[in-house]
Amino acid sequence: MHSNGMLANMRRRWQLYVLLLPSVLYILLFHYVPMYGIIIAFKDFKSSMGIIGSPWVGMKHFEAFFDSFVFEQIVTNTVKLSAFSLLIGFPIPILFALLLNQIRNRLAQRFVQTVTYAPYFISTVVLVSMLNVFLAPSTGIINNFITLFGGEAVNFMAREEWFRTVYISSGIWQTMGFSAIIYLAALSGVNPELHEAATVDGAMKLRRIWNVDLPSILPTITILFILGIGSIMSVGWEKAFLMQQGMNLPVSEIISTYVYKVGLLNAQYSFATAIGLFNSVINFTLLIFTNYASRKMSGNSLW
C-alpha cells in the first residue's frame, strides 16, 4: 500500500487504534518490560541502584548456577517430571477421545464428557488437599484398602519414590476430560462416508478407529505435541510447590520452585533471574526445534 494511503487509512480508522491501545499497552508493560529486566541476570542487581545503575558482572551468575550442587538435581527433576507427564499424560486423552467417540448413545456420551472435565476447574490448592486426604497414611481411603488386604500403609505424599507417580496420575485425573474436548471436536468433523465405506469393506470398529479416526485428528495431535514439548521445562509451578514436603524435596524441587525460593525468599534477584533465563531459553529452543522437525516430517507446524 502507498504510504500516503496508509496514513489516510490510519486516520480514518483511528477508533480501531483506540480499541487496540489497552491490550498493546498491557503487552508492552507487563510482558516486554520484564523481558528488558532480564539484563539483571548479567548484573549484580541492587534495588538501591536500579536496573541501569547496577554493575555488570557478565556470566557470573550462570557459572555459579552451573557449578552449584543443585544444578544437576533441579534440571533432572524438571526434565523427568515433565517428560514423564507428557509421555504418559499426552496419549491418554487421545485414546479416551477415540473411545468416547464410539459411544453412540448421545446422552451417555454427554454425561461422561460432563463428568470427566469437571475436575479441570478444581483449584490446585483443593486438588492437593484432596490428595492429602485420600492418601493419608492412617485415615486415607487408599491406605485403608491396602491394609484391609494385608498390605502395609504407605505415606504416599511424603515418600520420594511416590512423588512423580502421584503428581502425574492426579494430573491425568484432573485434565484428561478437558484435553479430550479438542480431539472430540476434531473427530466430530470426520466424514461419515469414510466410516460407511470402511464398514462395507468389512472393517471392524478397532480397524476403523485406527484407519479413519486417528489419521483425521493427526494434525491436531501434532500441534498439541509441539506445544507440549515447547513447555517441557515449564511444569506447573503451583502443584509441585504445594506437594513439596521436607522428605520428597530431592525429587520435587524443580527449577521454578527453586527460582521462587532463592529469588523471592532469599532475595538473590540476579542469580534467580539467570536461572529463569536459562529455563526460558531451553524452552524456546525446544519449541523451535520440534516445530522445525515436525514441519519437515509431517508438514504440520505452528508456523
Interaction of residue 40 with other proteins, rule CB under 8 A: yes
Closest CA to 215 of 190, 197, 181, 192: 190
> Of 69 and 265, which has the nearer Cβ to other proteins?
265
Three-class SS state of 174:
helix
The minimum distance between CB 161 and other proteins, in angstroms, equals: 21
> Of 70 and 223, which has the nearer Cβ to other proteins?
223
Q: Which three cell numbers stand for residue 52?
A: 541501569
Interaction of residue 112 with other proteins, rule CB under 8 A: yes
Q: Which of 64, 154, 198, 223 binds other proteins (CB under 8 A)?
A: 223
Binding to other proteins by CB under 8 A, coded x per residue (else -) over 160-189, reads: -------------x---xx--xx--xx---
Map the footprint of other proteins across residues 231-250, applying CB under 8 A: 237-238, 241-242
Interaction of residue 97 with other proteins, rule CB under 8 A: no
Q: Which three cell numbers stand for residue 275?
A: 536461572
> Of 86 and 288, which has the nearer Cβ to other proteins?
288
Show Cβ contacts of residue 257 under 8 Å, excluding neighbours closer than 6 positions: 237, 240, 241, 244
Q: Which of 59, 87, 115, 297 binds other proteins (CB under 8 A)?
A: 115
Only segment of 61-69, 80-88, 159-167, 281-289 that touches other proteins (CB under 8 A): 281-289
d(CA 61, CA 41) in angstroms, rounded, equals: 7
The minimum distance between CB 85 and other proteins, in angstroms, equals: 18
Only segment of 57-65, 69-77, 78-86, 108-116 that touches other proteins (CB under 8 A): 108-116
Interaction of residue 210 with other proteins, rule CB under 8 A: no
Q: Which of 46, 49, 144, 201 binds other proteins (CB under 8 A)?
A: 144
d(CA 152, CA 4) in angstroms, rounded, equals: 80
Closest CA to 291 of 215, 208, 229: 229
Interaction of residue 84 with other proteins, rule CB under 8 A: no
Q: Which of 46, 87, 160, 205 binds other proteins (CB under 8 A)?
A: 205
Map the footprint of other proteins across residues 259-278, applying CB under 8 A: 259-260, 263-264, 269, 272-273, 276-277
For the chain, list the strands marked E by DSSP: none
Only segment of 15-23, 67-75, 82-90, 159-167 that touches other proteins (CB under 8 A): 15-23
Interaction of residue 13 with other proteins, rule CB under 8 A: yes
- Residue 254 has φ and ψ, to the nearest 5°, of -115, 175
**How many angstroms separate the Cα of 158 from the Cα of each of 55, 79, 301?**
43, 21, 41
Read out DSSP for 244-276?
--GGGHHHH--HHHHHIIIIIIS--HHHHHHHH
Say if CB 158 and CB 245 are below 8 A apart.
Answer: yes
Interaction of residue 135 with other proteins, rule CB under 8 A: no
Task: State the CB neighbour count (10 A cutoff) for residue 59.
Answer: 12
Say if CB 169 and CB 162 are below 8 A apart.
Answer: no
Task: State the CB neighbour count (10 A cutoff) for residue 86.
Answer: 17
The minimum distance between CB 76 and other proteins, in angstroms, equals: 21
